[in-house]
């Protein structure tokens, strides 16, 4: 597997629970990030591995938005 040169593509997928599995480290994940490499193809990984593979904070930023939105909804109840 190529250690670098991965790109994230599209939006993350919220499974609604820890029903996914990171294809890199095997961790149970709720938010699935699709990543792509020209020589490897696609994988679905968790937030930490997405950031690691793409050398970015894309996934962390996405999760920051998700958590803020969740807190907002809860505080409105």
Interacting residues with Zn ion (CB under 5 A): 22, 24-25, 27, 46, 49
Using CB atoms within 10 A of its CB, is residue 35 exposed (0-12), middle (13-18) or buried (19+)?
buried
Least Å distance between CB 25 and Zn ion? 3
Strand partners, 28: 21
Angle of the 47-54 helix axis to the 58-75 helix axis, nearest 10:
150
Cβ proximity to Zn ion, 27 vs 66, nearer residue: 27
Q: For Zn ion, which is the closer residue by CB, 40 or 71?
A: 40
Q: Which is nearer to Zn ion, 1 or 25 (CB)?
A: 25
């Amino acid at each position: 597997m190529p250690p670098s040169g991965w790109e994230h593509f599209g939006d993350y997928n919220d499974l609604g629970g820890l029903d996914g599995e990171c294809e890199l480290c095997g961790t149970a994940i709720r938010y699935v990030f699709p990543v792509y490499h020209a020589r490897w193809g696609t994988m679905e990984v968790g937030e930490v591995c997405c950031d690691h593979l793409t050398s970015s904070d894309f996934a962390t930023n996405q999760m920051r938005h998700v958590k803020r939105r969740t807190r907002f909804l809860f505080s409105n109840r």
